[in-house]
Amino acid sequence: RALADEHSSIVVYKRGEKGLIAYVDGETIEMGIYPVKALKPTGAGDAFMGGFVTGLAQGLKPKDSLQRGAASAALVVTRVGCSPANPNEEDLQNFMRSHHINQ
């Protein structure tokens, strides 16, 4: 929280299976994960960041962007490889419609 207050408007603390805590413009957002059977952890962080930043760039609210990042990470860990495992927009939207974040 102190880091966000002093140095940045957005700080995201990812806690693996415990979800995340984000501090966005003075607001605290806690979020669980999409429960999936992971094949490997490789690429989850990069996928999360890509989904999150893309959501912000598209004008989504921070919470929706965080959810998008969580979905991207969940998809990547269920697939073989790293770059080829990254979801496209259709994959991501289908996953978010059919899966729910645990709280």
Catalytic site includes residue 64: no
Q: Of 25, 46, 64, 91, which one is the catalytic site residue?
A: 46
Residue 52 Cα distances to 12, 24, angstroms? 10, 13
Per-residue DSSP letters for 12-39? EEE-GGG-EEEEETTEEEEE-------S
Helix (H, G, I), strand (E, B) or coil at 84: helix
The residues carrying an active-site annotation are: 46
